[in-house]
Structure 1
């Protein structure tokens, strides 16, 4: 059994990846949603091994940009420490601790690339993420349908799943991530990869490949479970991501018939949700579309009574003032959570937009460079034909886009597991080239 597992792990090893690093990388990606601790240990070994087999990091201009961003962040942390008297409520240690959300992952972006250097390597990583999502689905659906609750501890407390009875917030699927929006982000970023697995299995079944039938049924069951889980997170971002991924993964060849079909499917939702629709049209649409969908999209019984200080637009207006006060090096990591209550009387951990949060914490130059780098990687991949490439490469590009869009109105990347997955996706995006290179292994 052990020999069979190792043989399986050694398969399709990219040319630049050594055997130990390749094994640890795949296992780390697989256990990532279940345990940040064990995934971190495995991926650290992979990162060290991957860094040993690379050309110098400065040969890639993207790494030079990341080094510049890192320097700006360190300067900002030092500045925040020196002006502590101007904001006594802000502990200067936060400015330095906040760097761990970014600087180690700049290294990971470079060191993980040997494992994602070709399409088969990215496909392996994508399937590991899909398989690792199974515990998320099982715990989440069990939480809402079977009343499961925790905390569940394994290996003497090394792994703890904080399952809250009835979901967190109440009635929303959260599973082992313990908060619905974080679960929604994980399910959203893995959804394109699962779609790619489904398409690949369907094509094998259509070609009557051996063993294709049972694989197709397994992946169909996983896809159905993930759609149900995404719906039960009650996250509008996740619902949008679920629809966005479908045409991107299916590829441009399907758009002629798929896009009109999606628009036709969304028409009743739009009629049921949008204001100003005549009752003659809206009432039948609301009878057809579940109230949990159009009510959530219309903010019915959810946020209509929220205080002004809780709304996104208020957070962003306050954040704009903070950026204008200290535009170059920012206020220090997590400063928003300290300053916002002082100015509004309500607490929020972050401003629900990654670009805004980066600008407040580390300054506008760092924010523009980092957000611009991600957008450049996406545009570069699209221009070089990634959306016309193999199905798992299309899904990879879609997963990065989905995760980037989620950060326009939330910041799930501050969960370590989402953060690691996001930088793995970015590393794979950087590795894309129209003509994949050779690979080693069997």
Structure 2
């Protein structure tokens, strides 16, 4: 995970080795887990959808964005079962974000590009001025992939910073001080990168993450301050005739013009999200059970609109149109159940010092989910992998805590029987 963002091929090979090893050693445990069978049913529905697809070749290729990650999720939730592992994993996920943003700065401000030899080794290209032009994309092939990656890194880094800060208040050692400084640098770097992606979704997610931590820590004054600042920016963006025009003189145009879409006023109707979503809805009504096949949105949209578009900017609508309503609802149910169990565990079970770190995983995956409501991130290997790893970590800790609680309960019952 430490090398995955900067060296995707090597990171993927390492994870593949882990996947194979866990499945070899824990095969019986895996197949006896009823929850895993639900994911297997989703996989079968995806296969049926691909067999019935309008463009079968595209659909079979599209399975690569899901099936290997189902297997990885099942394997990693067996390995990650203790809250202390979450802290180690968080460091592995956030440390690469620092060089990623540094490369992005060079891309935007110094027009850095990637030498052909280095590009063939690393597997990514640094495009001068970003993709699209003027928006930081760094080592990713589009700015929105960088945006969600930095939103996740920012959320986990903020959790580590707050956790370290609580320790530092009681024990001001030099190690804790240097750790705080490093985490502060990472946070500042991630925020700068998020701003330069010009991703409205990522800006909103960073704000939501900040508010979530403020609520968790019980800092009502900070919640009010951040909410007030956000309301002021929204006012300037969407209500110029109700006093917003005066606020625009204070708030940088970079923010209110991007939020109100005035930065790109002449966008074709075919590129608008509402147009894409309406097209998906029409596809769902025509084939509600098994859909049109994975990755079939692009050729279908091109045939209708005469425009190539990689995805419809909504994972839920895309899955419903491409794989059918049944498979989509079942997959959403699996993910939703894990998140609900994670939140209930955080409320009911004592985590001691690890509660904040576990909370950071819930917030980070929640951000990933919200981002996919108006975009699709599964087409980038690194972002897709990180999302499934966050979910597997949550599920692994939930099941470990539940098992431990059950064992303790049975031991307590046995002791009472013996005593009586």
TM-score (norm 2): 0.89
Retained in 1: the 8 A contact 2:215–2:223?
A: no
Structure 1 stretch displaced more, 226-235 or 106-115: 106-115
Retained in 2: the 8 A contact 1:248–1:394?
A: no
Query: Residue 359 of structure 2 aligns with which residue?
Result: 394
Structure 1 stretch displaced more, 386-395 or 210-219: 386-395
Retained in 1: the 8 A contact 2:290–2:324?
A: yes
Query: Residue 394 of structure 2 aligns with which residue?
Result: 429
Retained in 2: the 8 A contact 1:77–1:332?
A: yes
Say whether residues 1:183 and 2:146 are aligned partners.
yes
Say whether residues 1:373 and 2:334 are aligned partners.
yes
Could you give the per-residue CA deviations for residues 311-331 of structure 1, whole angstroms, max 9, x where no partner exists? 111111111111111111111
Separation (CA, whole Å) in 2 of partners of 1:346 and 1:371: 30
CA separation of 1:157/1:110 partners in 2, compared to 1, >3 Å: closer, same or farther?
A: same
Retained in 1: the 8 A contact 2:50–2:293?
A: yes
Separation (CA, whole Å) in 1 of partners of 2:225 and 2:288: 46
Query: Residue 76 of structure 1 aligns with which residue?
Result: 49
- Secondary structure of 1:170's counterpart equals coil
Instruction: Answer 1 or 2: which has greater helix percent.
Output: 2
Query: Residue 26 of structure 1 aligns with which residue?
Result: none
CA separation of 1:267/1:355 partners in 2, compared to 1, >3 Å: closer, same or farther?
A: closer
Say whether residues 1:192 and 2:150 are aligned partners.
no
Query: Residue 13 of structure 1 aligns with which residue?
Result: none
CA separation of 1:153/1:115 partners in 2, compared to 1, >3 Å: closer, same or farther?
A: farther
- Secondary structure of 1:414's counterpart equals coil
Q: Could you tell me which runs of 5 or more consecutive residues in structure 1 were left unpaired when the two chains were aligned.
A: 1-28, 81-86
CA separation of 1:408/1:230 partners in 2, compared to 1, >3 Å: closer, same or farther?
A: same
- Secondary structure of 2:123's counterpart equals strand
Structure 1 stretch displaced more, 320-329 or 235-244: 320-329
Say whether residues 1:313 and 2:286 are aligned partners.
no
Q: Report the RMSD for the aligned CA atoms in angstroms.
A: 2.1
Retained in 1: the 8 A contact 2:79–2:396?
A: no
1:285: Cα distance to partner?
1.4
Q: Could you tell me which runs of 5 or more consecutive residues in structure 2 were left unpaired when the two chains were aligned.
A: 405-420
1:106: Cα distance to partner?
0.9
Say whether residues 1:59 and 2:32 are aligned partners.
yes
Could you give the per-residue CA deviations for residues 290-340 of structure 1, whole angstroms, max 9, x where no partner exists? 1000000010131x3222222111111111111111111111111110111
Query: Residue 46 of structure 1 aligns with which residue?
Result: 18
CA separation of 1:435/1:112 partners in 2, compared to 1, >3 Å: closer, same or farther?
A: closer
Could you give the per-residue CA deviations for residues 78-104 of structure 1, whole angstroms, max 9, x where no partner exists? 222xxxxxx5xx3x2212111111111
Aligned pairs for 1:35-434 within 5 A: 35-54=7-26, 55-80=28-53, 90=55, 92-151=56-115, 153-154=117-118, 157-206=120-169, 207-275=171-239, 277-278=241-242, 281-302=243-264, 304-385=265-346, 389=351, 390-433=355-398
- Secondary structure of 1:240's counterpart equals helix
Separation (CA, whole Å) in 2 of partners of 1:209 and 1:104: 44
Retained in 2: the 8 A contact 1:247–1:254?
A: no
